[in-house]
Amino acid sequence: MLTALKGNILEALSPDTLGIHPNSYLVLEDGRVAGIYPVLPDNITEAQVEDFGDALILQSFADMHLHGPQYEFMGTGMDRPLLQWLDTYAFPTEARYANIDYAREKYRILAHDLIQNGTTRVCMFSSLHTDATLILMEELEKAGVTGYVGKVNMDRNAPPYLCETTEESERETLRWLEKCKRFTLVKPILTPRFAPSCSPELLSFLGKLKEERDLPVQSHLSENTGEIALVAQLFPDCRQYWEVYDKYGLFDSKTLMAHCVHSDRRERAAMRMRGVHPVHCASSNNSLMSGISPVADMLREGQAVCLGSDVSGGTTLSMLHTMANSINASKDRGSMKQDVSQAISIEQAYYMATGAGQAFLGHGIGFQAGEPLHAIVLDDTGLPKLPNITLRERLLRAVYRLDDRHIRAVYSEGVRRL
Ligand code: GUN
Ligand code: FE
């Protein structure tokens, strides 16, 4: 069946290129993109058109780093650095997800709120609980959120109420992988929480499992100076943090590394050579006082940087806010260094919030023909109608001034979900 959305279509074609289609038709065949046209071609005039007037039609968002069980306490505890914050807020909250009824209730809300915010793709950490992780995957899939979810592995440097033995962690990971075969839109990703919470034996097991089953991996890297010092102490044979993951085969093109705030040239070069994807989490870097990531340098060096909300180190689920936060952080870095080249553009922010994640998840970028539609309709028509404002300027303004209340429609996998 042919359908079409009509409006001002904006697609992120590369970190530097915005595809701009004023007042155009996004034509779909059975929910898959057929093409973008300024007028409907003769052979498809029978398409059923949904006209969104002067609103913006954008790619929906890919939030490439967040923690499902942390959503409930978002906004609390924003006055502590990472390691204290984990002990005081994150670990006690995550422990509650041993209760599957509790998990069901909370994860249903999260899945709903993601769609409401226009996020249809995620790479998400669950907790260490296998059953709650399966519930999270189920609720996301039901709501139309696609992507990867990981059962967290942690067998040391964690409180006794949120720690597995190595054997348990390995066994539960295998049980989880077996049980998640039933999902079609949400797939498993191996998730060693971060180097300090995994023993060498567990990392070695995960590296072998990755290799055997060709699985993707997500973790944290060089987020915070206290964390980096702890890693140096725990893994004295590794010169830099990334070498821990590399040593155990967990550092390649199917790997997401959140934060990378303190990654110097050498660490960034290693990531680039291995094709590792950094995930920039500006809100969390600010909240937990981790630092300001060199994101403009990473992009200039050709790294495939994605964006993450890092809920709940981060304080918002909105990827519009996350884009604004990443632009602001880059300008703070530019101010500190008196170097305007540290500021990122709206093109870069929009690409990192959409296309970079799509590519990691194996999809075409922009509204590529043949891909199932992932899109939002963002209505900025209530904002002042400035003379001569361009669509590019409207996108940048929308990032700063709009939120989920202005999202009029959300499509995921070709299906309208809002
Ligand atoms: N490093 C290890 N665990 C976490 C977490 O839950 N949040 C953040 N921001 N960093 C981490
Ligand atoms: Fe995180």
pLDDT digits (tens, 9 = 90+) for 227-243: 999 999 999 999 999 99
**CA-to-CA distance for 133 and 69, rounded, in angstroms?**
10
Compute the distance from residue 126 Cα to the ligand 2 centre, in Å.
11
Q: Is 360 in the pocket of ligand 1 (CB under 6 A)?
A: no
Biggest distance spanned by C-alpha atoms of the chain: 68
Supply the range of the domain harboring residue 234.
61-353
- Domain assignment present for residue 220? The answer is yes
Q: Are residues 52 and 68 in the same domain?
A: no
**How would you write the pLDDT of the chain (418 residues) with one tens digit per residue?**
999 999 999 999 999 999 999 999 999 999 999 999 999 988 888 889 999 999 999 999 999 999 999 999 999 999 999 999 999 999 999 999 999 999 999 999 999 999 999 999 999 999 999 999 999 999 999 999 999 999 999 999 999 999 999 999 999 999 999 999 999 999 999 999 999 999 999 999 999 999 999 999 999 999 999 999 999 999 999 999 999 999 999 999 999 999 999 999 999 999 999 999 999 999 999 999 999 999 999 999 999 999 999 999 999 999 999 999 999 999 999 999 999 999 999 999 999 999 999 999 999 999 999 999 999 999 999 999 999 999 999 999 999 999 999 999 999 999 999 9
Residue with tokens 């519009």: 320
- Domain assignment present for residue 358? The answer is no
Total structural domains in the chain? 2
Q: Are residues 85 and 54 in the same domain?
A: no
Both tokens assigned to 28: 């779909």
Q: Which atom of ligand 1 is nearest to the CA of 284?
A: 9
- Domain assignment present for residue 324? The answer is yes
Compute the distance from residue 194 Cα to the ligand 2 centre, in Å.
9
- Domain assignment present for residue 215? The answer is yes
Q: Are residues 377 and 279 in the same domain?
A: no
Nearest-CA residue for atom 3 of ligand 1: 193
Q: Is 115 in the pocket of ligand 1 (CB under 6 A)?
A: no
- Domain assignment present for residue 360? The answer is no
Residue type, 278: P
- Domain assignment present for residue 89? The answer is yes
Q: Are residues 151 and 272 in the same domain?
A: yes
Choose one of 80, 85, 152, 220 to mutate for the ligand 1 pocket test, by most ligand atoms within 8 angstroms of C-beta: 220
Domain boundary among 298, 320, 353: 353
Q: Are residues 274 and 180 in the same domain?
A: yes
Q: Which atom of ligand 1 is nearest to the CA of 227?
A: 1
Ligand sitting nearest the alpha carbon of 78: 1
- Domain assignment present for residue 359? The answer is no
CATH number at residue 42: 2.30.40.10
Choose one of 66, 87, 223, 322 to mutate for the ligand 1 pocket test, by most ligand atoms within 8 angstroms of C-beta: 223
CATH number at residue 211: 3.20.20.140
Q: Are residues 171 and 89 in the same domain?
A: yes
The order of strands in the sheet holding 146-150 is: 61-67, 119-125, 146-150, 186-188
Q: Are residues 78 and 209 in the same domain?
A: yes
> What are 307's strand-pairing partners?
280
DSSP secondary-structure letter at 301?
T
- Give the model's pLDDT for residue 46: 85
- Give the model's pLDDT for residue 272: 98
In three-state secondary structure terms, 355 is helix
Both tokens assigned to 252: 């390649």
**CA-to-CA distance for 278 and 306, rounded, in angstroms?**
6
Q: Are residues 142 and 277 in the same domain?
A: yes
Q: Which atom of ligand 1 is nearest to the CA of 197?
A: 2
pTM of the model: 0.98
Q: Is 90 in the pocket of ligand 1 (CB under 6 A)?
A: yes
Domain boundary among 353, 379, 397: 353
Residue with tokens 């630092």: 291
For β-strands 375-378 and 407-412, DSSP reports them as antiparallel
Q: Is 192 in the pocket of ligand 1 (CB under 6 A)?
A: no
In three-state secondary structure terms, 81 is coil
Compute the distance from residue 396 Cα to the ligand 1 centre, in Å.
29
Nearest-CA residue for atom 8 of ligand 1: 313
Of 47, 57, 50, 65, nearest in space to 314 by CA:
65
Compute the distance from residue 385 Cα to the ligand 1 centre, in Å.
42
Q: Are residues 258 and 229 in the same domain?
A: yes
DSSP secondary-structure letter at 86?
I
Is 310 within 8 Å of 258 (Cβ atoms)? yes
63-99 per-position pLDDT tens digit: 999 999 999 999 999 999 999 999 999 999 999 999 9
What are the residue ranges of helices labelled H in 87-199? 91-95, 100-116, 130-143, 166-179
Sign of the torsion angle spanned by Cα atoms 249, 310, 9, 142: positive
- Give the model's pLDDT for residue 70: 98
Q: Is 284 in the pocket of ligand 1 (CB under 6 A)?
A: yes
Q: Are residues 346 and 248 in the same domain?
A: yes
Q: Which atom of ligand 1 is nearest to the CA of 70?
A: 6
Q: Is 94 in the pocket of ligand 1 (CB under 6 A)?
A: no
- Give the model's pLDDT for residue 43: 81
Residue 87: count other Cβ atoms within 10 Å of its Cβ.
Answer: 13
Compute the distance from residue 194 Cα to the ligand 1 centre, in Å.
8
Q: Are residues 254 and 132 in the same domain?
A: yes
Q: Are residues 174 and 42 in the same domain?
A: no
- Give the model's pLDDT for residue 69: 98
Nearest-CA residue for atom 7 of ligand 1: 313
